[in-house]
Amino acid sequence: MNPLTDAAHADGQQAVLTPVAQDLRAFNTLGLASHTHAFVEIDDAAQLPALAQLAREYPGLLVLGGGSNMVLPSQVNMLVAHMRLRGIRLLDTTADHLLIEAAAGERWHEVVAHTIAQGWPGLENLALIPGQTGAAPVQNIGAYGVELKDRFDSVVAYDLHEESWVEMDHAACAFAYRDSIFKHHPGRWIITAVRFRLPRAWAPVLDYPDLQRHSALAAAREAGNVTAQQIFDAVCEIRIRKLPDPAVLGNAGSFFKNPIVDAATHIKLAAEHTGLVAYPQADGNVKLAAGWLIDQCGWKGKALGRAGVHAAQALVLVNLGGSSAADIMALARAIQADVMTKFGVVLEPEPIVVT
């Protein structure tokens, strides 16, 4: 049986899942102490009908991949399903695009690296984002000028409400900035595979300031021969320099979304705050750099109890050792309050806060 989508058509005896107790500290990149009494691992898509039946016995279902975008409480009372589905394949080739499918349990960075190695460019700006592939559409991950929705074709998912397999296209996923339909209906769809439509007529995306300032890319751009591998390498270098390794210092990457304001608000803020970092959007609104706002409030490198703000990147909240979800969220609320007081701007967390 193919571990990706063929399981959607599988017949035969239904799998049996037996929940066990599990320490979840290793299943979230913040490294928060967390525990569940009901944990199962999904390594075959044919197990999902059994998971749907089992989930009826619990107050909810939490699907965990790499846990890179979650804040877990000390006790998770839901059924927790850890996705281990693996596989990457080329589904189709046309004159215009390549259609690539990756299983939900594949580490996202390894998928990006694999596509580049195979000569399938298009995902290179999204290199080194932590987590698993199944979580990428949930968050509509994005970095360095590219969002997942820009390369997205569809997902294969199991609808727990209907207990049936579905394929959801771009419109069905309702993508927005760090948002999708999956965030608004948690526990309904379990994504088993993600499909990407990569353009055959590839063009580098180099508009992001960090990429424009990168010396190796600048030289390649001047020579007119920028490659996807060069962008991949540059993005990895920049991310390593700016963001802490979760294996060394627990974190969930960027903790807050960059707030979007209207043009009039931007003009007012720019007049009041010299050096305001902002990016005009196609719809006339303006995206503000949340890290800059937090830095201006004096939080960079500071701590509140056992949670802190990374010294090199104010957008990253870190576990200083023994942090709980309560510690992280207390720090987040303090930062939000200060940004609101100083700038009148609302900061929204990026991670899913499990309650």
The count of other CB atoms within 10 Å of the CB of residue 247 is 9
For the question of residue 350 being annotated catalytic, the response is: yes
Answer yes or no: 254 catalytic: yes
**What are the Cα distances from residue 332, in Å, to 180, 237, 317?**
23, 28, 8
Secondary structure, 3-state, 236-283: HHHHHHHCCCCCCCCEEEECECCCEECHHHHHHHHHHCCCCCEEECCC
54, containing H or E segment: helix 48-55
Distance CA 243, CA 78 (A): 31
Strands 61-64 and 79-83: parallel
Pick the catalytic residue: 154, 254, 323, 324? 254
Q: What residues contact 223, with CB distance under 8 A and at least 6 apart? A: none
106, 124, 147, 350: the active-site residue: 350
* Cα(267)–Cα(290) distance, integer angstroms: 17
Q: Which of 107, 151, 178, 239 is catalytic?
A: 178
Q: How far from each other are the two terminal CA atoms of the chain, in whole angstroms? A: 36
Mark whether 124 is an active-site residue: no
Radius of gyration of the chain (CA): 21
Looking only at the bridges linking them, the beta strands covering 164-169 and 152-159 are antiparallel
> Can you tell me which residue has the tokens 């700006």?
125
Token pair recorded at residue 96:
């215009």
Q: What is the DSSP letter of 313?
A: -
**Residue positions annotated with a catalytic role:** 178, 254, 350
